[in-house]
Structure 1
Amino acid sequence: MNVLPALLVLGLLLATAGPRLLTRARWVEREPVLALWAWQCLVAAVLLCCGLAMLLTGTVAWPEAGRLLFLGAPHGVESAYRLPFTRPWAVAGTLLLACGGVRTAGALTAEVRFARALRRRRQRELTARAPELPPGLGLRPVSGERLVVLENAQPRAWSLPGPDARLVVTTGALTRLSDRELAAALAHERGHVRARHHWLMQCAEALNSGFPGARVFGLFRSQVGRLVELAADDSAARRHGRLATAIALVELNAAHSPSCPAPLAEVPRRVDRLLIGEPRLPVGHRLRLTATALVALGAPLLLAFAPGLRALL
């Protein structure tokens, strides 16, 4: 099979079979960080297939670009990439794939701008409404982080990521939670900030909004939203215990009804998961899953370089 159809078939296979395997895998809830890595490798591999296919069709559509791409390559390498398409078809394919790339970049730019504007607005509101958490409460802020108390009877805790990250708790949370439970709630939010989960969420949201009909990006968005919460739960549980984290999770979401949005509807399952406390996968199993994700990420590159490597042998 020619390299271009092979890349397109591989991208289609990854976009259809990959999400199905990951959503049905039983190990995902035991290893949410590894599952996030696998999803990122899968989505990156699909995008890589499209990008490499655009690059190859562009060499047929515009021969000057092909000569520039293969500048300095050994004899026979360029001829190994001759694609079985006429120039009009190559131009159409290149423009179609380029439109997808422009749409992805535009959606990501819009998502980042919206998130930054929203974060700045919330920071201004917090600065106007709430004082910083005074020292001596027993909660020591880390470098580059501010603890803020917001007067509200409802127990809440959340984070505002960024260069000047803020962890926010309400007076209701201070009253309702014990010191250990409050520390667990803040450790959960701190886990989001440290792992840069907001970046991952922005990328997932941009891909989903840019290509609303693509199932792989829709599943990526929903699964990332769930997995980042599980990863933050584990981060808090390692430091303050599963029971304290589960109690904090219940208390902070006690006021929500059963008809709440999907992330909040996952709270009972997250609490059960914390209380059951299933052990992590064996190291060997984790290494095999990591290697599988890397293979999926490297497959498009290997496929794209295969004709050139064969020509050199």
Structure 2
Amino acid sequence: MTWAWPVLLVLGVALADPVSRWLAAACWTHRDPVGALLLWQAVGLAGGLALLGAGVTAALAPLGDGLWDAAGAVLDGRLAELDAWRWVVLAITVVIAARLLGVLAVVGVRTLRARRRHRGLLDVLATPWPAVPGALVLDHPVPVAYCLPGPKSRVVVSRGALTTLERTELSAVLAHEQAHLRERHDLVVLPFVAWGATVRGVPGLTAAQRAVAALIEMRADDVAAREVGDEALGRALQAVSGGAHGATHTVFTAATEQRLARVHDRPPPLPLAARVAVRLAALLLLAVPTALLL
């Protein structure tokens, strides 16, 4: 354990900033949004595990060669063997972990409350869309479409969208929003919001939030494009851009210009070998800190 914590610390710091900034700037992610999102989840989980694990292993190093040995020593009442600086390291680690969990809980509770209020307003102001079960129509002239995730999820379109968009464009909008709901993209961005609020001022974490937000939009675009094609999707995206689209499932911008460029000049998908490599890299990222801790 004496050598594990420096490796974990270096790994955690690297994933939090330089690796995150590199991945956020990588163009290949637009060719495989699903794989890129899996890799981002692995980066977030592995980075958090490495940083918190570094603190725990550094503090408990005198008690054994791994967390299992250290846990056994703690149960045997050997905590008195730790000197003052190790207690300080352990306390700092516990505070960071508690803050992270606290921020995650606060963000989750606030989001649930906001959605509950939003659903209440929609129940009063919106009307059901007979053509699409579970969808609501908001009487507003601006073309707008968005989703409201949760147990009682909603897809909302404005009257302006119904009068402005053609049938295929409406199908694109619905497929896009339903993809967000079905794949729970609101939960995908939540850990990055928590990390960004816990450790402020780290460029890599800010870049990660923006990149993940753009990728979930691209993933939903891909689902819609499979149903109606890129041309209809592009027209629909232009019509509803600038509205409230995406605001209810992510706090980030929807990267409209980036998405439009991708739809109008779609890059080829990654080769199969590259897609497999991305997923294996995600598994490896999770395996490394886990192995070092055990």
Deviations 1:224-256 (A, max 9, x none): 111111111111111111111111000112679
- Aligned residue number for residue 60 of structure 2: 59
Tell me the SS of whatever aligns to 1:28: helix
- Aligned residue number for residue 69 of structure 1: 71
How far apart, in 2, do the equivalents of 1:115 and 1:24 lie?
29
1:299 and 2:288 are equivalent in the alignment: yes
Name the CA shift for 1:212/1:254 in 2 (closer, same or farther; >3 Å): closer
Deviations 1:34-60 (A, max 9, x none): 111111101111111123223324535
- Aligned residue number for residue 48 of structure 2: 47
The answer to whether the 8 A contact 1:59-1:66 is kept is: no
The answer to whether the 8 A contact 1:184-1:244 is kept is: yes
| Pick aligned residue for 1:187 from 175, 186, 189 | 175
- Aligned residue number for residue 289 of structure 1: 278
1:92 and 2:88 are equivalent in the alignment: yes
How far apart, in 2, do the equivalents of 1:262 and 1:68 lie?
42
| Pick aligned residue for 1:270 from 259, 263, 267 | 259
The answer to whether the 8 A contact 2:18-2:204 is kept is: no
How far apart, in 2, do the equivalents of 1:93 and 1:182 lie?
55
- Aligned residue number for residue 7 of structure 2: 6
Tell me the SS of whatever aligns to 1:213: coil
1:243 and 2:231 are equivalent in the alignment: yes
The answer to whether the 8 A contact 2:36-2:278 is kept is: no
How far apart, in 1, do the equivalents of 2:94 and 2:202 lie?
17
TM-score, structure 1 length as denominator?
A: 0.82
Tell me the SS of whatever aligns to 2:17: helix
TM-score, structure 2 length as denominator?
A: 0.87
| Pick aligned residue for 2:218 from 207, 230, 245 | 230
Moved more, 194-203 or 171-180: 194-203
Name the CA shift for 1:119/1:61 in 2 (closer, same or farther; >3 Å): farther
Deviations 1:95-143 (A, max 9, x none): 1111110110111111001100110011000000112112xx3x4x3xx
Q: Which amino acid aligns with 1:238?
A: R
Aligned Cα root-mean-square deviation (Å): 2.5
Residue identity (%): 31
How far apart, in 2, do the equivalents of 1:287 and 1:68 lie?
37
How far apart, in 2, do the equivalents of 1:278 and 1:201 lie?
24
How far apart, in 1, do the equivalents of 2:211 and 2:243 lie?
25
State how 1:14-53 maps to structure 2 within 5 Å. Answer: 14-53=15-54
- Runs of 4+ more than 6 Å apart: 65-68
How far apart, in 1, do the equivalents of 2:36 and 2:135 lie?
30
- Aligned residue number for residue 247 of structure 2: none
How far apart, in 1, do the equivalents of 2:276 and 2:47 lie?
22
User: Which stretches in structure 1 are left out of the alignment for 5+ residues?
Assistant: 72-84, 306-313
| Pick aligned residue for 1:103 from 93, 99, 102 | 99
Q: Which amino acid aligns with 2:279?
A: T
Deviations 1:159-196 (A, max 9, x none): 11111111001110000011110010011111111111
- Count residues in correspondence: 279
Structure 1 residue 30, shift from structure 2 partner:
1.1
